[in-house]
């Protein structure tokens, strides 16, 4: 790496670097992007809400974990952990400003344990 001259420095900083940053989701420039930013689950205060739902067709029972942070990576990892611990299928989706995870079967007891281990408060 060569020493920067004062002229180089002026060149480097003459353009605002944030103007060239692209959104990782829509690939638009940050200034054009209209994506909703992901929330950081670590700094986001939330209480997950557990409820049981019966699917219309076949009447299969699923445990729904609602009011989770809207953060795909977080939801994906938590869904993977829950599926493993519960030994069942599951999926996640982003519903408006909340993240939602569905785990097949009535797994509230196990889910409460997993959430507690992850430091996630829940009710229901």
Show the CA angle centred on residue 27, arms to residues 25 and 29, nearest 5°: 115
Closer residue to Zn ion in complex, CB, 26/93: 26
Q: Alpha-carbon distance 21 to 33, whole Å?
A: 10
Residues forming contacts to Zn ion in the complex (CB under 5 A) are 23, 25-26, 33, 35
Residue 114 C-beta: closest distance to Zn ion, Å: 31
Show the CA angle centred on residue 90, arms to residues 63 and 45, nearest 5°: 65
Closer residue to Zn ion in complex, CB, 1/19: 19
Of all residues in the shown chain, the one whose CB is closest to Zn ion is 23
Residue 23 C-beta: closest distance to Zn ion, Å: 3
Q: Alpha-carbon distance 18 to 33, whole Å?
A: 13
Closer residue to Zn ion in complex, CB, 22/76: 22
Long-range contacts of 2-10, Cβ-Cβ distance < 8 Å, separation of 24 or more: none
Residue 38 C-beta: closest distance to Zn ion, Å: 11
């Amino acid at each position: 790496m060569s020493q920067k001259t004062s002229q180089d420095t002026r060149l480097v900083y003459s353009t605002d670097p944030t103007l060239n940053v692209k959104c990782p989701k829509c690939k638009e420039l940050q200034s054009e992007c209209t994506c909703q930013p992901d929330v950081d689950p670590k700094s986001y205060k939330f209480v997950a809400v557990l409820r049981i739902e019966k699917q219309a067709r076949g009447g299969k029972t699923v445990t729904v974990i609602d009011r989770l942070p809207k953060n795909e990576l977080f939801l994906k990892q938590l869904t993977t952990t829950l599926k493993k611990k519960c030994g069942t299928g599951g999926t996640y989706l982003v519903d408006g400003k909340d993240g939602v995870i569905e785990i097949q079967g009535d797994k509230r007891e196990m889910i409460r344990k997993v959430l507690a281990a992850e430091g996630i408060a829940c009710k229901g």
